[in-house]
């Protein structure tokens, strides 16, 4: 506690002394005396050059070290982890270079701690969200729910992962927009990795009219599957299916299930839907649409017909002069 009070007093004394020196130099400049300005330039030029040299050396060293350490991880482990390690080493060495420069030019640790203690509360509040994002980034790298190149649904966004950084994750949407998502938003929500497995199941619902023959409909749907055998997956565990799932209000509902490679999911689904529609049209099976049958009793028919008969007995007058006639 006493060391902290002494440090704060030293900082205050140095500040007052610096201010007095600035005022004295300003008065000399007003009188045309540039000796203090030249002395200040000579005194500051060499330290400034040294500081710049140290920072440049740390910059190139950080770039070289980050590339050298992350390259084996890129090749032998994973691109996602390689990028994360590269960013971590690069920024860590730059921070170390800044601290080394400050110590090299006489900024003592006690003074530095006193300054940080004075603004520590504000810094803690400002970096609360940032530290949460950093911790979430570590969790994403440890548990690996996805990697670079995966198509994911995270935080309500469907996009392909471009890069996992220390604090954020960069993704590209299907319409080619780059989004930067805080890691805490991803880690705190449900993550759906769409491309995690190499195979995906395609489901195509089909509703046909009640007048369609059941056996003919099933045969037509199987014929549609046969037409796309070259692009779907058919194994013991990945079998195609045609199922009758419901008798709906306006249609008989069927479901066509096939398996496809994840990378070709959209193209295979397009071909399956096309084959189903083409085969149903070929076999004369009508695809149902929502409809409603209305049945009227004799009393309801009379009520509906009454206004029509009244209109024939009392035709509408078109002459304005007769609008209010009896």
**Gap between the Cα atoms of 205 and 245, Å rounded:** 9
In a domain, 131, yes or no: no
The 8-class DSSP code of residue 249 comes to S
In a domain, 295, yes or no: no
Whether 274 and 203 map to the same domain: the answer is yes
- Note whether 232 and 268 are within 8 A (CB): yes
3-state helix/strand/coil string of 68-87: HHHHHHHHHCCHHHHHHHHH
Looking at residue 215, which CATH number applies to its domain? 3.30.70.100
**Gap between the Cα atoms of 245 and 56, Å rounded:** 69
In a domain, 303, yes or no: no
Q: What's the pLDDT at 66? A: 81
Looking at residue 165, which CATH number applies to its domain? 2.30.30.60
pLDDT in tens, 35-64: 655 565 556 666 677 777 777 888 888 888
Q: Which of 289, 282, 265 is nearest to 204 (CA)?
A: 265
In a domain, 290, yes or no: no
The 8-class DSSP code of residue 325 comes to -
Residues 6+ apart with CB under 8 A from 114: 4, 7, 8, 11
3-state secondary structure of 20: helix
Whether 186 and 222 map to the same domain: the answer is no
In a domain, 320, yes or no: no
Q: What's the pLDDT at 123? A: 55
Which of 165, 193, 221 is where one domain is finished? 193
Whether 10 and 116 map to the same domain: the answer is yes
pLDDT in tens, 216-257: 999 999 999 999 999 999 999 999 999 999 998 889 999 999
Whether 30 and 66 map to the same domain: the answer is yes
Whether 7 and 117 map to the same domain: the answer is yes
Q: What's the pLDDT at 12? A: 62
pLDDT in tens, 183-200: 999 988 899 999 999 999
Whether 209 and 96 map to the same domain: the answer is no
Q: What's the pLDDT at 272? A: 96
Q: What's the pLDDT at 324? A: 45
Opening angle at CA 45, ends 43 and 49, nearest 5: 135
Domain limits for position 61: 2-126
Q: Rounded to whole angstroms, what are the CA distances from 124 to 33, 71, 243?
A: 47, 35, 59
Residues 233, 239, 242, 244, Cα dihedral to 10°: -140
Please list the ranges in the chain whose pLDDT falls under 70.
1-47, 104-128, 299-326
**Overall domain count for the chain:** 3
Whether 85 and 155 map to the same domain: the answer is no
The 8-class DSSP code of residue 287 comes to B
Q: What's the pLDDT at 261? A: 95
Residue keyed to tokens 């090749």: 75
Q: Which of 195, 200, 194 is nearest to 259 (CA)?
A: 200
Q: What's the pLDDT at 25? A: 62
3-state secondary structure of 323: coil
Whether 147 and 112 map to the same domain: the answer is no
Whether 118 and 7 map to the same domain: the answer is yes
**Gap between the Cα atoms of 261 and 233, Å rounded:** 7
Q: What's the pLDDT at 250? A: 87
Whether 12 and 122 map to the same domain: the answer is yes
- Note whether 256 and 276 are within 8 A (CB): yes
Whole-prediction pTM value?
0.59
Burial class (CB in 10 A: 0-12, 13-18, 19+), 222: middle
In a domain, 89, yes or no: yes
Whether 99 and 211 map to the same domain: the answer is no
Q: Which of 163, 263, 253, 192 is nearest to 217 (CA)?
A: 253
Work out the number of other CB atoms within 10 angstroms of the CB of residue 29: 13
Measure CA of the first residue to CA of the last residue in the chain; give whole Å. 107
Whether 19 and 91 map to the same domain: the answer is yes
Work out the number of other CB atoms within 10 angstroms of the CB of residue 161: 22
Strands, DSSP E only, in the chain?
A: 151-154, 157-164, 168-172, 178-182, 191-193, 199-208, 241-247, 252-261
Residue keyed to tokens 């032998």: 76
In a domain, 310, yes or no: no
In a domain, 48, yes or no: yes
Looking at residue 96, which CATH number applies to its domain? 1.10.287
């Amino acid at each position: 506690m006493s060391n902290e009070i002494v440090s704060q007093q030293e900082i205050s004394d140095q500040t007052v002394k610096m201010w007095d020196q600035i005022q004295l130099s300003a008065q000399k400049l007003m009188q045309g005396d540039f000796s203090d300005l030249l002395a200040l330039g000579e005194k500051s030029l060499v330290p400034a050059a040294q500081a710049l040299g140290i920072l440049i050396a740390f910059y190139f060293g950080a770039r070289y070290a980050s590339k050298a350490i992350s390259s084996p991880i890129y090749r032998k482990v994973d691109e996602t982890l390689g990028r994360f390690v590269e960013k971590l080493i690069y920024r860590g060495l730059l921070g170390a270079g800044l601290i080394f420069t400050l110590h090299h030019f006489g900024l003592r640790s006690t003074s530095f701690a006193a300054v940080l203690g004075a603004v520590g509360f504000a810094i803690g509040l400002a970096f609360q969200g940032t530290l949460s994002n950093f911790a979430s980034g570590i969790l994403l790298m440890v548990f690996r729910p996805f990697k670079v190149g995966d198509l994911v649904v995270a935080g309500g966004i469907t996009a392909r992962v471009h890069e996992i950084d220390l604090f954020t994750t960069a993704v590209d949407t299907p319409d080619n927009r780059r989004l930067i998502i805080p890691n805490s938003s991803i880690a705190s929500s449900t993550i759906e990795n769409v491309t995690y497995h190499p195979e995906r199941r395609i489901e195509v619902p089909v509703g046909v009219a009640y007048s369609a023959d059941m056996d003919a409909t099933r045969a037509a749907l199987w014929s549609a599957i046969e037409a796309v055998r070259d692009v779907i997956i058919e194994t013991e565990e990945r079998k195609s299916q045609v199922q009758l799932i419901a008798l709906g209000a306006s249609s008989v509902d069927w479901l066509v299930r096939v398996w496809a490679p994840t990378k070709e999911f959209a193209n295979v689904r397009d071909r399956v839907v096309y084959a189903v529609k083409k085969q149903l049209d070929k076999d004369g099976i009508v695809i149902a649409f929502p409809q409603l049958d209305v049945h009227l009793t004799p009393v309801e028919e009379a009520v509906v017909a009454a206004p029509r008969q009244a209109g024939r007995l009392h035709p509408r007058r078109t002459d304005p002069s007769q609008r209010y006639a009896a």
